[in-house]
Structure 1
Amino acid sequence: MVPGFLKASQDSKFTVLASDVIYPVGSSDDYGTKFYRPYQDYQAPIYAIPGNHDWYEDLGGFMRAFCDAPPLAPEPSPRPLTPAWLRSLLWHRAHPTDEQRLSEARQLRSALAQRAVQPGPYWAIDAGRLRIIGIDTGLLGTIDAEQGRWLRVVSAGDMPKILITGSPLYVDAEHHPCPIEGGGTVDEIVRDPDHHYVAAIGGDIHNYQRYPVPVDGRTIQYVVAGGGGAFMHATHTIPRVSVGHVTEDDFRCYPLRGDSLAFYSRLYGRRLRMRRFFTLTEAEATAVIARRLGIAPTRAQGQPARVTPRTRLVAALLGAARRPDRTARFRLPVRKAYTQLFSPGSATYSPPFFKCFLRLDVTPDSVRLRCFAATGNLRQELDPPVEDEVTIPLPRQGTGG
């Protein structure tokens, strides 16, 4: 992903990593190979919000890298046969940081133009007319009362705002408003017309999705943008969209559902050594997705592929979404169970990768949001393709619009 990112990010002022910076457990010893080295040639500051994976080692690595915090004090060993002892057997425990290794890694991004120290895991940045607010949703996808109070304060005022969160508020055709300890939700703050949010961008899920949700006469762009690393989460499991007054015609995703299904068909064909049965072409996958969801094919084709009993069976086994009036049957794990059991070892090193990143260009009147694909193909590294684009108008300050 990095070569295309470096090309598309030329002249950008800073970058934000939208959660799960270091996969899978946020270890400080992994920052050299997974953060400092890949981004050593990006000549601007990088800020971040943590995701659940960054919390698996108590946020120690994240705080060292982005907040210049001291190392965490070692935890005392729990007494045997106590509840704390039992938890320690079942939960990943942080190990001491290799300080020399971390110090050497930091030198890779030590230029003055690259330096950035953020105050904590949640923050606000004013970028011209736009305020970008990053929140920390921790392990459970919620925020505590203290952060909730802070969020309400920094959300006040008529400056247009974009939220960056580790827990997308709209994802997989569902609404997840993100509870705040003590009452209320993050999405209530985003929707409040006095706060002037124009978008909410969430990481965590490893693909791209966009839901333009109408709210009180305006549109808030709810975006999933967690496709920058690790494996690719399936999009072919996303049902026909009808949520928050957003329909299938309004919804956008990358990879397209057909490409996602074709990718997973090759993956399972290889894993189960049944390539001839499982493998679908992009045309076959696109056709069967269109049939199952009752939608038009999402990519212009010459001669449409025929939907055969085999393609229908493979699509069903791989969890392709169905119309709401159809009941689900047995399927292979491609979502939560797949993530837990197989995904860490399923990263592919053969293009296309179906990774992506966003670029936001802010003017006094609008924000231009583009989703760039990172496929691993040389031509697209030199000229990253835009998979989705939207221009978001910014309300004029003081107008209440």
Structure 2
Amino acid sequence: MNSNLVVAGTGIYGSASDQINSPLGIFVDVNLDLYVADCGNDRVQLFQSGESNGITVAGSTSLNPTITLRCPSGIILDAEKYLFIVDSGNSRIVGSGLNGFRCLVGCYGMGSQSNQISNPSSLSFDGSGNIFVADQRNHRIQKFKYLKRYCNNTPWVVQNIYSSSLTNRNQIYHRDCQKEIFYYESIQVKVIESGYYSFRGSGGIDPYGFIYKNKFNPLDPLENLLDRDYARDSDIQFKLDIYLDVDMIYILVVTTYDSKDTGEFSIVALGKKKVILERHSTPVNIQLIYPSKLTDNSPTYHRDSLVPEYHYEALQTHVNTTGLYVLWSESNMNAYGYIYKNDFNPLKPFENLLLSHGGECNDGQFKLIIDLEINTRYILVVTTRNPKITGNFSVFISGPNNVRLSLFSTTSESSYACMNYRPTWILIMICSIIQLMKKLI
């Protein structure tokens, strides 16, 4: 069959309204209107039936720009006239709604995890609304469940307004696990009826919003992450539209686009039913700063049962009030922290262990966030990521009340030998017997 009609483009690449550049995908709707994924111009063009000039409906040059594209390669228009775009260069799928575009798939960067894609080329839907994506660079086809969107005809009602501010007393974290640090506030979210809800943040601090399922771990900010949003130069600086279950706890985290920014912010929660917002993170309330150092005379042990020896210092820890405490290090060494309940046995470094952290996503310094109880002995062990490293360190402890630290050591000569000599199987057995006898005396 010979082509006798050009319906879009002039045959010469360009960015004018009647031109396209390296088109990769098309969609024709029931009105014979043509949608073109105009890869080379980073936009989606609509050519209405019989028209040679296109209208930019998505991309930075559209009349009402709400999203930036990078080489779109596929497009679908559903029965409700919502657009779904394969944003290939950004390795994501975006969709339109009543309030503009939002990310649907691949919202946390390019990769090979189950929630990530890499340079997708096309998409399709099945009869149940599931999205199938040609995940080009991962050499696979991904299937994603697509729930009925929040863009229904039910009007949303303001259910809660949460106002607060970020100050230099807020908790800090490395938002993208990079060098820069950011103040943040976490807010527990509960709803009394399952459904779609919207959280819209604004303020003088240029806020960045994240929402998590069950809990938020500042040392692994991608864990449990459901969605995030940031929109510079907008009255609504982040907008999270999401389906929430009534029997689930969610954590909304507000931070900033720029490092160490402070100021006021507010969140408007919209939905059909009541939304409960309660502050979750506690302000930094430093109760103790403990300076010390690891030297060549510090005791050594085989951290995590590894062969190299590591210098360490063990500190007996007591709190006066049950609550959430944060213990962290500042040092010129890459510090590793462990906290134990009741006792610490360097020959069995996993026994009684409650929590450990080796400086991941915290610039090489340990950070332990843990609930501690009164009338309980805890042992904080400070050591290093690499063997036989010495140097100064300080331990900072923030929490609801006073904290006491004192050196914890094994006094018997036999125990000292167990701790400081390279263990053989026979020595380990002897030391274990000695430890058992001590408990029985």
The two structures share one fold, judged by TM-score above 0.5: no
**TM-score (norm. length: structure 2):** 0.21
Choose between structure 1 and 2 for higher RCO, CA contacts under 8 A separated by at least 6 residues: 1
The alignment's TM-score, normalised by the length of structure 1, stands at: 0.22
Structure having the larger proportion of residues in helix: 1
Which has a greater percent of strand? Answer: 2
